[in-house]
Structure 1
Amino acid sequence: MSDLFPRPPGLAVFLNAGDPPFDVLDDVADMLDEHEVDVLELGVPFPDSISDGPVIRRSADRALAAGTDLKDALAFVERSRSRHRHLRVVVLADWAHTVRPRSMAQVITAVAASGAAGVLLHGAPPRVRPDFYDRAGAAGLPVVTTCYATSAPGIVAEAAAHASAYVYLVTHYGTSGSGPAPDQGALRAPIDALRTLTDVPVAAGFGVRTAADVERVHAAGADAAVVGSPVVACAEAALVAGRDVAADLGALVTGLRPHHSRSSL
């Protein structure tokens, strides 16, 4: 079983590689490690994501304008691995923008060599997923799979069968940064269904903005919460205002911790 979330409720946060710039992102990662954030989901930036709202789209556009690519993202992963005691980095790579122009073999080999704690393949059509699962397994690279709280049983079964890092349970349809707070009652059944199929952790995201939301997903049975748009928005606001991005994000992360977890930080 994956050990990415050793002390529930775990916390994963999302940022794009290259936004904030890598010198700042290095400081942010150090802060996340000090605050014992479990996972940084690091997006290899790509344009025009249909699943992302304007906050994350702006972030990806800034990173792409700065020339950020897969090589830059994986260099950051290697730096993080060498100096962080707690934080682990999962790479999110888009099929159309990052993988298809290269090859599945090249990308999986490079991500595994970086020391990433896992990989999430975004937007992969069904025909390429078996090759992805096989190559990641052969490389010893843990896989993050995804499904929705309302996904059909076959989709849930595929996610459970091939997850080796964790299952990312998306709480509702829509774009990131939109939609309601997680519904504890509505999440319990899909989380219970995953529990019957896999023993890897379940991390729930979309709509998670506050410590109360983190508590809700944990009370529904999830091992961790994933926070994306609020983190990206906080970094953006700090950059625009000329503030210390790591300090602002540190305050945000502290505020996301349920009260019973803060005393251990």
Structure 2
Amino acid sequence: MTGFFASPAGDIGLALFLNAGDPPLEILEPLLLALDAARVDCLELAIPFPDSVSDGPVIRRSADRALANGTDPDGVLSFVARLRPQLRHLKIALFADWGHTVRSRPLPDFLDRVSGAGADALLVHGLPPRLGPTLCETAERTGLAVVTSCYASSDPAVMDEAARRATAYLYLVAQYGRTGTTPPQGFAALAPVIERLRAVGNAPVAVGFGVKERAHLEALRAVGADAAIVGSAFVARMEEAQANGRDPVDEALACVEALRPSVPALPREAIP
């Protein structure tokens, strides 16, 4: 497996999603170090923004908590810059909303800041399609890899464009809807979609939306996905841990162990 995902032989890559600031950044720092030690491949780290129409209630509550904690773009970029040199395996794909975070800034300046902070890639949520070429060209000049996305039901031309432009990975949304919703028919229907995307582009294909458990990862591996993205289910574990006074780091490690038992769990005291 190439690029962002370097999982044990025969397994599938693993990406997790969190809003920066939920848990608070002082807790998020040891949590990311724990994910790195557990050899999670990628963290999609969102700069929080309100009222996302594509997110379900779990991720929307998380974004609201992060914003209430005072999390802002400058703080997130400073956090990434401080932490990135300590990570040996985990890559950070920064997730930024076009309307809330990016649009008010000159695009080259924003990409320079993201690259300078050490983020491994950038996914811009809600980017107007007409700006896709500009984003990719500007990112290439700054040396920043790009995550593109499409739905499994997207028009073939949209899929092909997403596959060609992805330089980090392509985020394949398993079904149209909101985060946290598993396709009622399962993931088997994605096989021809993944085959098409791989024939057009060179970046790994990572599947998200409704990926919650080990059986889902195995199903995605069977249809040829390079990685699985676990978002709402992971955020929900963090929400429950904080609400019930449990350590989010311990909860994160337990979640990873359940998702990928092929990687031996590390004792908590072994985490930097």
- Bucket of the pairwise TM-score, normalised by the shorter protein: over 0.9
- 1:214 is matched with which residue? 217
Partner Cα separation in structure 2 for residue 136 and residue 76 of structure 1: 21
- 1:27 is matched with which residue? 30
Where does 1:59-98 land on structure 2 (aligned, <5 Å)? 59-98=62-101
2:43 is the alignment partner of 1:44: no
- 2:5 is matched with which residue? 5
Checking the alignment, whether the CA contact within 8 Å between 2:174 and 2:187 is kept in structure 1 is: no
Match of 1:225 among 220, 224, 228: 228
2:238 is the alignment partner of 1:235: yes
State how many pairs are aligned: 263
Partner Cα separation in structure 1 for residue 172 and residue 3 of structure 2: 18
What is the TM-score of this pair, normalised by structure 1? Answer: 0.95
* Cα deviation, residue 56, structure 1: 0.4
* Cα deviation, residue 20, structure 1: 0.4
Q: Secondary structure at the match of 2:78?
A: helix
Checking the alignment, whether the CA contact within 8 Å between 1:234 and 1:248 is kept in structure 2 is: yes
- Cα deviation, 1:46-75, whole Å, max 9, x if unaligned, reads 011011001100111111112211111112
* Cα deviation, residue 145, structure 1: 0.3
* Cα deviation, residue 102, structure 1: 1.6
In structure 2, give the amino acid aligned to 1:100.
R
Q: Secondary structure at the match of 1:262?
A: coil
Where does 1:1-265 land on structure 2 (aligned, <5 Å)? 3-7=3-7, 8-180=11-183, 183-257=186-260, 259=261, 261-263=262-264
What is the TM-score of this pair, normalised by structure 2? Answer: 0.93
Partner Cα separation in structure 2 for residue 19 and residue 74 of structure 1: 15
* Cα deviation, residue 2, structure 1: 5.1
CA RMSD of aligned residues (A): 1.6
Checking the alignment, whether the CA contact within 8 Å between 1:202 and 1:222 is kept in structure 2 is: yes
Checking the alignment, whether the CA contact within 8 Å between 1:13 and 1:226 is kept in structure 2 is: yes
Checking the alignment, whether the CA contact within 8 Å between 2:253 and 2:265 is kept in structure 1 is: no
Partner Cα separation in structure 2 for residue 47 and residue 36 of structure 1: 31
- Cα deviation, 1:96-119, whole Å, max 9, x if unaligned, reads 000011221221111010111100
* Cα deviation, residue 9, structure 1: 0.6
Q: Secondary structure at the match of 1:147?
A: strand
Checking the alignment, whether the CA contact within 8 Å between 1:184 and 1:219 is kept in structure 2 is: no
Partner Cα separation in structure 1 for residue 127 and residue 150 of structure 2: 13
Checking the alignment, whether the CA contact within 8 Å between 2:146 and 2:168 is kept in structure 1 is: yes
Partner Cα separation in structure 2 for residue 39 and residue 22 of structure 1: 18
Checking the alignment, whether the CA contact within 8 Å between 2:174 and 2:183 is kept in structure 1 is: no
Checking the alignment, whether the CA contact within 8 Å between 1:90 and 1:118 is kept in structure 2 is: yes
Identity %: 49
Partner Cα separation in structure 2 for residue 189 and residue 254 of structure 1: 30
Unaligned runs of at least 5 residues, structure 1 = none
Unaligned runs of at least 5 residues, structure 2 = 267-272
* Cα deviation, residue 79, structure 1: 2.5
Partner Cα separation in structure 2 for residue 122 and residue 2 of structure 1: 24
- Cα deviation, 1:228-251, whole Å, max 9, x if unaligned, reads 001111111111111100101110
Checking the alignment, whether the CA contact within 8 Å between 1:179 and 1:207 is kept in structure 2 is: yes
Partner Cα separation in structure 2 for residue 84 and residue 4 of structure 1: 14
Partner Cα separation in structure 2 for residue 205 and residue 228 of structure 1: 7
